């Protein structure tokens, strides 16, 4: 691992001016520094040459003026249908882009986020028309250097096993993706995807493959290429699907990718060690420009997810912990994105406590989890913390409540290996599952 980060340091000195590496700057938090402070930090202390916003916040756009950092803005999914109207699109550009560019170097207008994933037909059917209207509006405003795109989740493919056979979903390949790719080809804008190996349904079986660690790999017999990590496989799958529709010459950009550092008992792979491995290797791969087996020597414009943790983000606990930088602008961990940082990663969040904890195995069913919960609480342990109002009630999921109860039972029974068996559905871990005010004893 140390050798890898030494290599990153060398590569950064060679490629810092044009790393192609950006970061997603989300602001759903109540503890973040002012945008002007963030802009100066990114300019002077990091190798990020671009940021992607999840809105078009005017205060943030003003903060990045004259920094030389490229900025991408995002239009909310709900605004897509209205922007099919060219008058509305021109008004949007006049209000959100023209007052700031070129002092703020706006590079992309991202129309919506993972629209197909929403399953909202009104957004899906109007995405391409809205992209066309906004492109027209930008050209009419003399801003043709700003490109229009949209980031896509990876639910866009058929379920195939090797990259060369990957195709877009039936029913959306010709009606949705072909027009989008035709737009990108015509406007010379990139097709943007959000590859997240962390969300792969195969993650429990392919963790090392996802983390760039030693593994058996995946052999594609049709191209005779061997894949040693899931990141490359996803990119080449995207390329194969695009090429099958006749658009293999359209550039691919990575709108989001990253790995969470913390979660609860239901997210055992969200650890700082895994985040260091995944993000460190992605940074190395992007900065080096080595490309993929089907796209060698190619540097993909990439936006890491994310700059900060977002403590006000709704949803599961893990959604709050994707950040790489603390609010005080110190690194949560080091993977080569800071100038003059140490070559060896230095985690600044709590390391494993040295204690053992009992949590459910990933494959445990809901029926098994309920049985474990009922059994443990029926043995006299204190289950009040997972009752409504208790410190461990949220997240209100069966897996989280079962994990707390199983660990409490494990503790009261002397922490023997047998007291964490739970009919083969429990496992002992050294990773601290405590979170917020919920403390696992």
CB 294 within 8 A of CB 236: yes
For helices 272-288 and 2-15, angle between their N-to-C axes, nearest 10 degrees: 40
d(CA 378, CA 390): 18
Tokens of residue 289, six digits: 């420009």
Active site residue 94: no
Q: Parallel, antiparallel, or unpaired: how do β-strands 191-193 and 357-360 relate?
A: unpaired
| Number of helices and strands in the chain (H, E) | 12, 12
Distance between alpha carbon 29 and the CA centroid of its chain, in Å? 17
**Which region holds residue 365: left if phi is over 0, alpha if psi is between -120 and 50, else beta?**
beta
Give me the catalytic one of 94, 233, 256, 273: 256
Tokens of residue 207, six digits: 């963790």
Rounded to 5°, the CA angle 147-102-123 comes to: 35
Active site residue 285: no
Q: Parallel, antiparallel, or unpaired: how do β-strands 50-52 and 70-75 relate?
A: parallel
Task: Determine if the peptide bond prior to 395 is cis (ω within 30°).
Answer: yes
Residue whose C-alpha is closest to residue 222's, from 291, 163, 159, 292: 163
Would you give the DSSP letter of residue 67?
S
Question: What are the φ/ψ torsions at residue 291 (nearest 5 degrees)?
Answer: 75, -160
Give me the catalytic one of 114, 233, 301, 394: 114
Three-state DSSP state, 323: coil
Three-state DSSP state, 50: strand
- How far apart, in Å, are the Cα atoms of 302 and each of 42, 125, 274, 337? 16, 27, 19, 13
Tokens of residue 18, six digits: 């044009």
d(CA 169, CA 159): 9
Which are the catalytic amino acids? 114, 256
């Amino acid at each position: 691992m140390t050798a890898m980060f030494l290599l990153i340091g060398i590569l950064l000195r060679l490629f810092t001016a044009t790393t192609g590496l950006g970061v997603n700057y989300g602001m759903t938090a109540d503890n973040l520094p002012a945008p002007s402070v963030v802009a100066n930090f990114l300019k002077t202390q990091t190798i990020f040459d671009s940021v992607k916003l999840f809105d078009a916040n005017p205060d943030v756009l003003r903060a990045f003026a004259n920094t030389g950092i490229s900025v991408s803005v995002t239009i909310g999914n709900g605004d897509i249908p209205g922007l099919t109207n060219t008058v509305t699109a021109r008004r949007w550009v006049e209000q959100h882009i023209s007052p700031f560019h070129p002092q703020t170097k706006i590079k992309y207008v991202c129309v919506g986020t993972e629209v197909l994933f929403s399953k909202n037909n009104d957004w899906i059917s109007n995405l391409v028309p809205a992209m066309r209207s906004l492109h027209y509006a930008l050209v009419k405003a003399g801003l043709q250097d700003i490109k229009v795109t949209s980031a896509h989740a990876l639910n866009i493919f058929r379920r195939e096993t090797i990259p060369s056979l990957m195709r877009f979903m039936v029913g959306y390949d010709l009606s949705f993706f072909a027009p989008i790719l035709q737009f990108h080809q015509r406007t010379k804008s990139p097709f943007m995807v959000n590859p997240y190996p962390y969300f792969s349904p195969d993650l429990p079986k392919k963790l090392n493959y996802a983390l760039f660690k030693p593994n058996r790999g995946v052999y594609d017999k049709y191209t005779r290429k061997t894949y040693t990590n899931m990141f490359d496989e996803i990119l080449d799958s995207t390329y194969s699907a695009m090429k099958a529709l006749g658009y293999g010459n359209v550039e691919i950009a990575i709108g989001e990718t990253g790995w969470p550092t913390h979660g609860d008992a239901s997210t055992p792979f969200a650890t700082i060690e895994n985040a260091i491995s995944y993000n460190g290797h992605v940074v190395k791969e992007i900065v080096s420009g080595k490309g993929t087996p089907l796209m060698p020597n190619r540097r993909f414009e990439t936006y890491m997810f994310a700059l900060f943790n977002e403590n006000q983000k709704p949803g599961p606990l893990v959604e709050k912990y994707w950040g790489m930088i603390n609010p005080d602008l110190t690194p949560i961990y080091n993977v080569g994105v800071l100038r003059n940082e140490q070559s060896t990663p230095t985690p600044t969040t709590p390391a494993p406590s040295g204690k053992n904890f009992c949590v459910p195995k990933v494959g445990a069913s809901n029926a098994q989890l309920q049985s474990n919960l009922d059994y443990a609480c029926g043995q006299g342990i204190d289950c009040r913390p997972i009752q409504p109002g208790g410190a461990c009630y949220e997240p209100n999921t069966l897996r989280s409540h079962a994990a707390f109860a199983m660990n409490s039972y494990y503790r009261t029974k002397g922490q023997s290996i047998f007291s964490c068996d739970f009919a083969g559905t429990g496992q002992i871990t050294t990773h601290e599952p405590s979170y917020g005010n919920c403390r696992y004893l």
